[in-house]
Structure 1
Amino acid sequence: MNRLFNRNRMLIILFGIIILILLIGFSMTDRSSTTRAEQFTADAAAGSQMIINAPFDFVGSLFGTITRSFNAVEENEKLRAQLEMLPQMQADIERLEAENEELREALDISSRQSYESINARVISRSHDQWLNSFTIDKGETDGLTTGMAVMTPEGLIGTVTRVNGGTSYVEMLTTSVSQNNLSVEVMHDGTPIYGNVQKYDKERNLLVVENIKNRSGLSPGDEVFTSGLVGNYPEGLLIGTVVEVENDEYGLSQNAYVQLKSNADNVDVVFVIERSPESMED
């Protein structure tokens, strides 16, 4: 009985192997269509693959979304930081443009003068002495000496009063130090009319010029220059413009109130005027 059962089992196995070989051979032949069995097997395999891949695709998509979210947050932070820096960047651009314009004006004015000038920059200015003095980055090694005139691109601003090796101390026209022995000429209809600086009126922010002869004809709008008659100041440095003329308290001469051309509140680029020995002899 067992022998018969074993023989039948062997026959079934052989028959199965033959059927499998026939199916494989049949599937490898060139055909334009597939059998029902192949379609079922392919569909079942594809479905199983989709079911197996679905969790992995979901997890991958989830991680991709999270990664993109983090990247978006980081990118937004960078953009926000750049936007916050725009006002500072704009301010830097405007400051550099203004500084370049100042330098161009300084070089242009310097080139029109017959005397030598030394360009310098303000490096220190005390708040409690804001309208009195400042320090520049040029000194004795650059040829500076005490008494030299200091100008901005707009006009005269002060006098060198103390010189170090690489820096100098400048007293502004608003102080009595710079006003001392400052002789000026006021141009009226092409004629120079002389006087000297008396003081700076801090209440009106005007320079007061005295000892102007009576009936001089001065009028608002006349420009005031250095006369070159006293000290190290050469002739012709622009100081300001007359805004008012009045008789002195004794009626013997006139006083002129002068608006400075230079802006005492905003001093950055300056140039120091070096008067030539020949002009001093003249």
Structure 2
Amino acid sequence: MFKLFNNKRLFILLITLVTFIVLMGFSLGQRKTLSWPENFLRDTTGFVQKLFYKPAGYVAGFFQDIGTLNELAEENKQLKILAAQYARDKAQYNFIKAKNEQYEIDLKFTNAQKNLYKYEYHIANVVSVTTEPGNNTLVLDLGAKDGIRLNMSVTSVEGLVGVISNVSNFTSTVKLMTMMDIKDPNSQPPIAATAVNKEGKTFGMIESYDQQTGMLLMNKIPVDDPIAKDDIVISSGIGGRYPRGMTIGTVKEVKIGQFGLTSTAIIKPAAGFQDWKELFVVFTEERVE
């Protein structure tokens, strides 16, 4: 009885082993299709993975987008700062460039004048301008401490502007040529003048400024004087008040006087008498300190 039972168990075990080997061989062999249990298991696993992985991907992408937005915001902030700095640097560059160009003009002018008459030109900034009728003056930021003295001539790059009429320690007042009036004893003193390339042949006195026409009047010119239209009028240096060779203006017209003994030249000033930022105080040799 026990022997038969043992033989059954051995037989079942053998059958099971053979079936397992067959199934293993079937599974390991090359197949074009999967069995339905394998398909079911694979589909179920893929569906479950999709349920979990897709929302997880959305969440991860959401936080990644937030991080990207923060980075873009910071980059945008830095770009705005750089744009503001560029605008400031550009304005500063333009300002420095303009100042350098003006200094080059000033240097060229002073060197040319020095070589011509050996004067010294001290650059002064215009502090204020007064344009009241009968009081056309301006104030410079140079004073007695800088060697400024009364009656020193003041010029722009274009031409003579006026003379120093008042001096304090740190500033000085310039009386403009537009205040020149032979009838007013307080106006700027007359200027002994001649013409370029006609020195020694041309002579006259610039005594007044016509407020209506904006022209200077050069009087006491001899009738046979060669002065003519378009001549450049300069100071002659006679009398010692004004340095020799200061540009005054251009002759526009020459008129014969009432009695035919002298002529009057109508002169357009070289200086513009407006919008000055810098001027030059002329130091002659006897005034240089």
TM normalised by structure 1 equals: 0.71
Q: Alignment identity in percent?
A: 23
Q: Of residues 92, 114, 121 in structure 1, which corresponds to 2:118?
A: 114
Task: Give the match for residue 27 of structure 2.
Answer: none
Q: Deviations over 1:103-127 (max 9, x none)?
A: 2234323432323332222122235
1:166 to 1:95, Cα distance in 2 relative to 1, 3 A: same
* Bigger shift: residues 160-169 or 180-189: 180-189
Task: Give the match for residue 56 of structure 1.
Answer: 59
1:123 to 1:202, Cα distance in 2 relative to 1, 3 A: same
Distance in 1 separating the partners of 2:79 and 2:122: 50
Q: Of residues 228, 233, 238 in structure 1, which corresponds to 2:237?
A: 228
Distance in 1 separating the partners of 2:45 and 2:99: 74
Task: Give the match for residue 103 of structure 1.
Answer: 106
Q: Deviations over 1:162-210 (max 9, x none)?
A: 0110111011111125642321123464544111112111222111100
Task: Give the match for residue 18 of structure 1.
Answer: none
* Bigger shift: residues 51-60 or 147-156: 51-60
In the TM superposition, residue 59 of structure 1 has moved relative to its aligned partner by 2.6
In the TM superposition, residue 38 of structure 1 has moved relative to its aligned partner by 8.8
In the TM superposition, residue 62 of structure 1 has moved relative to its aligned partner by 5.0
Q: Which amino acid aligns with 1:57?
A: A
Contact 2:192 2:237 in 1 (8 A): yes
* Bigger shift: residues 149-158 or 82-91: 82-91
Mark the runs of 5 or more structure 1 residues left unpaired by the alignment: 1-34
* Bigger shift: residues 239-248 or 89-98: 89-98
Based on CA coordinates, which of the two structures has the bigger radius of gyration?
2
1:51 to 1:116, Cα distance in 2 relative to 1, 3 A: closer
Q: Secondary structure at the match of 1:251?
A: coil
Task: Give the match for residue 169 of structure 1.
Answer: 173
Q: Which amino acid aligns with 2:127?
A: I
Contact 2:235 2:246 in 1 (8 A): yes
In the TM superposition, residue 89 of structure 1 has moved relative to its aligned partner by 6.3
Contact 2:130 2:136 in 1 (8 A): no
Q: Secondary structure at the match of 2:178?
A: coil
Superposed, 1:25-36 pairs within 5 Å as 36=38
Q: Which amino acid aligns with 2:57?
A: A
In the TM superposition, residue 51 of structure 1 has moved relative to its aligned partner by 2.7
In the TM superposition, residue 83 of structure 1 has moved relative to its aligned partner by 9.1
Contact 1:199 1:208 in 2 (8 A): yes
2:266 paired with 1:263: no
Distance in 2 separating the partners of 1:51 and 1:81: 44
The number of residues matched between the two structures is 247
Task: Give the match for residue 202 of structure 2.
Answer: 193
1:130 to 1:202, Cα distance in 2 relative to 1, 3 A: same
Distance in 2 separating the partners of 1:212 and 1:144: 33
Distance in 1 separating the partners of 2:156 and 2:47: 91
Q: Which amino acid aligns with 1:136?
A: L
Q: Which amino acid aligns with 1:203?
A: Q
Distance in 1 separating the partners of 2:137 and 2:120: 23
Distance in 2 separating the partners of 1:138 and 1:120: 6
Distance in 2 separating the partners of 1:206 and 1:131: 18
2:189 paired with 1:151: no
Task: Give the match for residue 250 of structure 1.
Answer: 259
